[in-house]
Amino acid sequence: MQVSGRIEFTITDQREDRVLAEMPIQPGILNPYGTVHAGAMLWFADVSATVLVLQGTDPSGGMTGFPLAINLNANFFANQGDGLFQARSEYVKRGKSVSVVRTLLTGDNGRPIAEVTTSHLASR
C-alpha cells in the first residue's frame, strides 16, 4: 500500500508576540474517516510555534539557534473534513534557552479543534 500526502500552510500574520497561520484541508491529510489526521494537526501547530520562536529568521540546515522541540502536549477537541484550520501561536514563556508556546487550532466559525503546547530549546 502506498500512501502520500501534502501539507500546506500560509503564515498570515507574524509579530514579535504571535503568529497566525492557515492550513487548507485537502485529501492528502485526511485519515480513513475523512477528517484531518492528528499528525497533520500536530505538524501544523509545531511549525507555527517554531516560526514564532524563530522571530523572522529563515531556517537552514545546521544553523545554530534553531528552536528544537523538546516537549509537545496536545489536546484534541474536534475535527473536520474540509475547509480551513487556523493556528494562533503565542508565548507562554519566552526564554533565552527554552521557550514555551501555546498554539490554538480553530476550524469553521472559530470552533476550537486543538490546543498544543510546545517547548523549544535553542540549539547551540
SS (H, E, C) 16-72: CCEEEEEEECCHHHECCCCCECHHHHHHHHHHHHHHHHHCCCCCCCCCCCCEEEEEE
Residue 74 has pLDDT above 80, yes or no: yes
User: Higher-confidence residue: 52 or 66?
Assistant: 52
Residue 124 has pLDDT above 70, yes or no: no
**What residue numbers bound the domain in which 37 lies?**
10-122
Q: Has residue 62 been placed in a domain?
A: yes
Q: Rounding to the nearest 10 degrees, give the CA dihedral for residues 40, 41, 42, 43.
A: 50
For residues 9 and 41, the answer to whether their CB atoms sit within 8 Å is no
Q: Has residue 81 been placed in a domain?
A: yes
Q: Has residue 111 been placed in a domain?
A: yes
Q: Has residue 1 been placed in a domain?
A: no
State if pTM tops 0.85: yes
Distances 82 to 9, 20, 27, 28, 45 between C-alpha atoms, Å? 14, 19, 9, 12, 18
Distances 119 to 15, 49, 68, 99 between C-alpha atoms, Å? 19, 9, 8, 6
What CATH number is given to the structural domain containing 44?
A: 3.10.129.10
Query: What is the predicted pLDDT for the residue at 4?
Result: 72
Q: Has residue 103 been placed in a domain?
A: yes
pLDDT band at 122 (very low <50, low <70, confident <90, very high): confident
Domains held by the chain: number: 1
Helix (H) or strand (E) holding 86: strand 84-93
Where do the H-state alpha helices sit in 56-121?
Answer: none
Residue 57 has pLDDT above 90, yes or no: no
pLDDT band at 67 (very low <50, low <70, confident <90, very high): confident
Residue 1 has pLDDT above 90, yes or no: no
Q: Has residue 42 been placed in a domain?
A: yes
Residue 64 has pLDDT above 90, yes or no: no
Q: Has residue 2 been placed in a domain?
A: no
